[in-house]
Chain A
């Protein structure tokens, strides 16, 4: 059997953004009748690659070939016109227009007067959508449909514009299992029609259920490409996370010192946290002085778990207790009063208040404690701010510099200071060292260690496997919003973690395959 024809290919693709090398000489080939998985963790360069392929970004270096000829798409519209269709995570249709009009937008069937022939459009739309398992009244506005059905409409639209390449960016993130099966049916049909499909997803079982080839990106570089059947799950996970199998390190590279003395009674107990589509019966405990790592791939529910504990995400059901006392869920102030502090993943938009000064940012949460009858005590604030700026070595021109002007590491320290001023019992750290430079990273890691030694319970979320393993006394592994494993004692190693993540994926794949003949 000869290799299928190349439809879309890039060679030596490089894309730079100010201060970042987003893609570093990447090769990628999409072939006719092949479903090609594109995988990698956050910041690996998947989105950038897709955006270059679809004309959103223009490459700094490298060649793009489309159907055997050199090509350069000036705009997304040009790429689309040439036959490259993209379906994004978020449905990009017009909610208030009818289903049929969304499907036929810009190419509605016309009658002799040049007006839209609604009758023909509606019959056609109904016929097309039936193939996608969507049986709805196509005259209704799109927003009346469920997200899954909307996704199908987007897909039907993308394919019916005479596409040669269909790129799907996490198409299943909002689909029910049944809808996923319909989607897979559609993808199989596309494959039979000789269309090249590029499939981006973090869900291992989906990749193995539908994809033929795989390309793994990490830190903007191509680390692997080839048939998916030749790569087992464990290898794939280790390629994504950048960890060699069986790689043993005599000495850690991080600043973590090791295990901590921990109390016996948990300071935080989260039980049966459940939220539709996101969290399924998650339970975990943290003891005083313990750093509990939360492992898992992107989209496994780590951030949601932390937010749910911090009251920032309403729960369907579940219970959170701090030092034995129940905490009202779904309320940030209640969680904070109970002693839970969250350092959010999205530091810039959910953490700092960029226009306010370092001083105001540190004092923000503890303001009521530092005021009397609603009047702020400047002296009390000065004292706290001075203490923490010194202790955390926050580098700013002074307490009155705007936080938005500081480096990422120092912003993170300001947020830590904000919470430490509240004297919390539990610290939830969501990617505390992401996007900060090496030196600041080491300092933050050292701080986490010290805080645990001081008796705080810490929940650590990190995509950096090394940081997670060396920083944590215990690691709870999540997949698809559920706890699937726990590593304790000598099992807290990179190998074990990778195995736990991969095994979890394997089990799930088995069940999925059992459902799909």
Chain B
């Protein structure tokens, strides 16, 4: 009898639980992992460890910001990892003119890639997954043409950026935080951000409302390309080496994971920057936790898979309502 009563009251509760899980689950996950580590992991609560985690998560996080925009527009950007590689090769090429010019060259390279994939999507109507897949393959090749093998990068400014800190907070983390704030502001407060959400939610309606659909879509991929290029520059600075063959490999998948786990639905119309940041941190902490407890990296991958499935499940439950 009690079982029956429970069964009746469950659906409403479950729907609410799922909604809560989608909205705040990622923050709860991060909190839970932090607490777990504070209690069970040796040497977790140390400035050094926090710095390591922050430096490792920064590039993924920056790439994920652009990915969140692409996914919010009902698209996806698979080229981000290759754009990072292209950026690192450009940095290596232009470092002779100073680190800042190298950075600008990298960003322009990333924006051109975004312009290309965005134009394919907006004007020719190529599916985002296909257009950016083409760029993903092409950019990696181009990066290898620019820089055929790994080269070390010796530059004091870049070394400071990549490894230094201010008041104990690494520059990389600060830059990532600033970019996250900038993108969040763009989504919330600019016409571009509002139009992006409307296009992602209902493209026919946005079109009939006279929105500059093509321009907005191209802008999305240009932003994503620029952010990936910045991430590529920062990763180069941290590693103090340019490796166009392996830098950014599988980065697109990590970025999508962060966005999805952060509660941005793949169906578009919503961009959650806070959630994306937390999603990137969650994956980073999960990996760190398992490694610190001497589990093999295969366990990390399986754990990531479980988190992704949970996130998508929560999103699906909401879609059904």
Q: List chain A positions with a Cβ less than 8 A from chain B.
A: 310, 312, 332-333, 335-337, 342, 344, 349-356, 360, 363-365, 367-368, 371, 374-376, 418
Contact = CB atoms under 8 A, between A and B. Distances in A.
A332 B208 contact: yes
A368 B191 contact: yes
B190 A353 contact: no
Nearest to A349: B204
A354 B198 CA distance: 9
Interface stretch (B139-147, B209-217, B301-309): B209-217
B261 to A, nearest CB: 20
B127 interface: no
A342 B209 CA distance: 8
B291 to A, nearest CB: 39
20 contacts: A310-B208, A332-B207, A332-B209, A333-B211, A333-B212, A336-B210, A350-B204, A351-B208, A354-B202, A355-B201, A356-B201, A356-B269, A363-B194, A364-B195, A364-B209, A365-B211, A367-B194, A371-B191, A374-B191, A374-B192
B122 interface: no
Contact of B198 (A310, A337, A360): A360
Nearest to A337: B210
B269 A355 contact: yes
Given A354-B201, A355-B269, A312 B190 contact: no
B315 to A, nearest CB: 13
Contact of B208 (A312, A354, A367): A312
B191 A353 contact: no
A310 B211 CA distance: 13
B162 to A, nearest CB: 33
The list of the 8 closest CB pairs from A to B, nearest first, reads A336-B210, A355-B269, A355-B201, A333-B210, A365-B209, A367-B191, A353-B202, A353-B201
A426 to B, nearest CB: 14
B320 interface: no
Contact of A374 (B190, B205, B210, B211): B190
Interface string B193-235: 0110110011011111111100000000000000000000000
Most buried by B among A355, A365, A376: A355
Nearest to A368: B191
B269 A367 contact: no
Interface of B: 189-192, 194-195, 197-198, 201-202, 204-212, 269-270
Contact of A353 (B210, B212, B269): B269
B202 A332 contact: no
Contacts of A351: 205, 208
Nearest to A336: B210
A374 B190 CA distance: 5
A360 B187 CA distance: 13
Nearest to B206: A353
Nearest to B202: A353
B270 A371 contact: no
Given A360-B194, A364-B211, A374-B191, 20 more contacts: A312-B208, A332-B207, A336-B209, A336-B210, A349-B205, A351-B208, A353-B198, A353-B205, A354-B201, A355-B197, A355-B269, A356-B197, A356-B198, A364-B194, A365-B210, A367-B191, A375-B189, A375-B190, A376-B190, A376-B194
A449 to B, nearest CB: 24
A418 to B, nearest CB: 7
A10 to B, nearest CB: 34
Tell me the dominant secondary structure on chain B's binding face: helix
A371 B186 CA distance: 13
B198 A364 contact: yes
Most buried by A among B189, B190, B209, B212: B209
Nearest to A418: B209
Most buried by A among B194, B195, B208, B210: B210
A374 B211 CA distance: 14
Given A333-B212, A355-B270, A365-B210, A371 B205 contact: no
A347 B206 CA distance: 12
A332 B198 contact: no
Most buried by B among A344, A350, A353, A375: A353
Contacts of B189: 375-376
A335 B208 CA distance: 10
Contact of A344 (B206, B208, B211, B212): B208
Nearest to B198: A353
Nearest to A372: B191
Contacts of B195: 364, 367
Contacts of B191: 367-368, 371, 374-376
A340 to B, nearest CB: 10
A344 B202 CA distance: 14
A342 B208 contact: yes
Contacts of A333: 210-212
Contacts of A368: 191
B214 to A, nearest CB: 10
A360 B207 CA distance: 15
Contacts of A376: 189-191, 194
Given A368-B191, A374-B190, A312 B209 contact: no
Contacts of B190: 371, 374-376
B164 to A, nearest CB: 33
Nearest to B268: A355
Contacts of B270: 355
Contacts of B205: 349-353
Contacts of B192: 374
A312 B207 contact: yes
A344 B201 CA distance: 17
B125 to A, nearest CB: 15
A332 B209 CA distance: 8
A352 B198 CA distance: 9
A349 B190 CA distance: 25
Nearest to B209: A365
